[in-house]
Amino acid sequence: MTPQILRQKRLRLVQTIILTVAMVGLAGRAVAVVFGAAAGWVALVAIAAMALHAATSQQVALPAGTRRLDRFSAPELYRVLHGLVQQAGLSRVPPVYVLPSRSGAAMTTGVGERSMILVSQGVLSELSMRELTAVLAHEVSHIRNYDLPLFAVVAGMQRITHAVSGMLMMIVFFAFPLMVANQTVIAPTVLLYLSVVPLISLVAQLALLRTREFQADIGAVELTGDAVALSSALNRLEEMQRPVFHLRSYHRDTGLSRLLRTHPTTEERIQRLTEVASG
C-alpha cells in the first residue's frame, strides 16, 4: 500500500466517523427533545438495531429481466472477481447479475451472504476487461468496507430526525393559538432545532455517501494497483449516462447541487485518483 493510498484511506475513515457521529448525535438529540434523554437514547439504539437487522435480512427485489451471470458464460470475469475477493480478504465470491439496460450502471446490494454485484448490459458491452476489473474492484471494496450496513443505519438516523421534526411541526400547528396569545408552549431553541436540524442531517447523510464512494475508489486502486483504469471507466460510465443530445456547457454543478449529490462528480473522483497515481 503506497503512502498516498494510506493517507487517503485514513482521511476517508476520519470523515466517515465524524459524519456518522454527527448523524447519530442529531437523531439522539431530536428523540430526546420529545421523549427525554434516557428514553431517547434507548429508542435510538433500538431503531439503529432494527435498521441494521432489516438491511442484513431483507430479500433484494431485482428489476424484471435481470439475469444471473454464471461462471460458464463469463469465465474471465469470474476469474478476475475471484482474485479481487481473495485480495480483499472476503470469504465469498458475490454473484454477478446483469441488468437489462444499456446505461452505465454498476452497484452492490445485499449484505454478507446476500451481497451481490449488479452491472448493466451496457457496462459489459462497452467497457474493456481492464476497466471492468476496476469497476468490480470498486464494488468489492464496498462489500469489504461494510458500506451497505452503514448506509442502512445512517438512513435510519436521518428518518428519525425527520420524523421527530414532523411531530414537532404538528405540535406547533395545534399550539399556534396559544403561541399567538403569548403562551410559551415550545421554546424558541426547539423551534430553531425543528427548522434547521433535518436539513443538516440530510446534508450529512449525503456527504457520508460521497465519502464512502471516495473510499471505495481508493480501495479499488489498492486491489488493482491501476488508478488509470478506474479513471477511464468512470469517464466511460458518465458518457453512457448522458442523453444523446447533451450540451456539456449547460450542465455544470453548483456548490448547492454538489451538496445534494449521493455521488461525487466524476471530475472530483478522477482528481483524487490522479493524486493517488502521482503519489
Positions marked active-site:
139
Asked if 157 and 24 touch (Cβ cutoff 8 Å), the reply is yes
Tell me the residue type at 229: A
Q: Which has the closest alpha carbon to 43: 83, 133, 139, 34? A: 34
Asked if 211 and 12 touch (Cβ cutoff 8 Å), the reply is yes
The secondary structure of the chain as a DSSP string is --HHHHHHHHHHHHHHHHHHHHHHHHHHHHHHHHH-HHHHHHHHHHHHHHHHHHHHHPPP-PPTT-EEEPTTT-HHHHHHHHHHHHHHT-SS---EEEES-SS--EEEES-GGG-EEEEEHHHHHHS-HHHHHHHHHHHHHHHHTTHHHHHHHHHHHHHHHHHHHHHHHHHHHHHHHHHHTT---S-HHHHHHHHHHHHHHHHHHHHHHHHHHHHHHHHHHHHHS-HHHHHHHHHHHHHHHS-SS--GGG----HHHHHT-SS--HHHHHHHHHHHHH-
> Which bin fits 8, alpha (ψ -120 to 50), beta or left (φ > 0)?
alpha
Largest CA distance in the chain: 76
